[in-house]
Chains A and B, each alone.
Chain A
Amino acid sequence: MAMGKIATLANPSFFMGLTDRVLPWLAAVTIALFAVGLYVGLFVAPPDYQQGESVRIMFVHVPSAWLAMFCYTLIAISSIGSLIWRHPLADVAAKTAAPLGAAFTLLALVTGSLWGKPMWGTYWVWDARLTSVLILFFLYLGLIALWDAIEEPLRAGRAAAILALVGFVNIPIIKFSVDWWNTLHQPASVARLDGPAIHHTLLIPLLIMALAFTCLFVWLHMKAMRAEILRRRVETMTIRSVSHMAELKAAE
């Protein structure tokens, strides 16, 4: 029964109808969260006692880095759905998440470099955290290239799903790199067993911005999935129209 319900929810036509109703509300919530998050982050939150004003880069860097890892996890879960149940919507979800993941990973790398220069004195070091995130960026580019290289969507989806699952080993490496190796990057300061190590005046704007970025990601992903579903319908109809024309010509 549960599987039947999941199958109904994962039906492309049902998905199109549902997102049609949800997306305008989600856009409004996202804009409101960004407005509040940016106001609190830039005008209300105090400067850090050690990092000064540059701590404000955290409000865009940390949510980008979280999304970079969340997005890859989403691709890995979708890949399982694609490989085991061969569900077309799982395939669409994985394919459309990859460019978004690449963009947020790039953003995490760029904002991290801009935060690193005033704090560490350098834009880049080849430490475990930074290098593993750079590898994540290349993994996203590899997935995008693979989907582009294979014309038939089902074959491309299967090949990309295998690559995505193999590459998932990088996610725990990114998360625990700061604990396993001696890195210039600071250890985890929010998701810790003994509670966040950040003062609440900085933690609250960080959490608001993280929620804003997450809502933005969900909105972007739903829009991209809708476009991909429509693209596949256009391709199928174009092929049908071409074969219909060929049949008509042959009959003449």
Chain B
Amino acid sequence: MDLGPHAVFIWTAYGATALIVLALVARAILDERRQKQALVKLEAQGIRRRSAAKPADHLR
């Protein structure tokens, strides 16, 4: 694919987009996983949410 004399600008723009998008996706997945693990750890210690009828139901 020949993007002409401005290829470096086009590829840098797409590269920056890919980098930021992948960082956002990774952050979203890792953050949720970290919180789920913390919640499971607390529930394993016998600590329950006051309103939790079925503990860790949302972690299915």
Contact = CB atoms under 8 A, between A and B. Distances in A.
Interface residues of B, number: 36
Given A53-B3, A53-B10, A230 B47 contact: no
A127 interface: no
Given A42-B1, A54-B9, A237-B49, A231 B35 contact: yes
A54 B58 CA distance: 47
B39 A227 contact: no
Instruction: Give the interface SS of chain B, mostly helix, strand, loop or mixed.
Output: helix
Interface in A3-25: 13, 16-17, 20
Interface string B1-43: 1011111011011101100110111001101101110110010
20 contacts: A17-B58, A20-B58, A42-B1, A53-B10, A54-B10, A57-B10, A103-B23, A103-B24, A114-B12, A114-B16, A115-B13, A118-B5, A220-B24, A220-B28, A230-B32, A230-B36, A230-B38, A230-B39, A233-B39, A241-B42
For the side of the interface on A, what is the size category?
35 or more
Contacts, number: 96
Interface string A212-252: 00001001100110110011011011101100100000000
Interface string A28-69: 000000000000001100010000111011001100100000
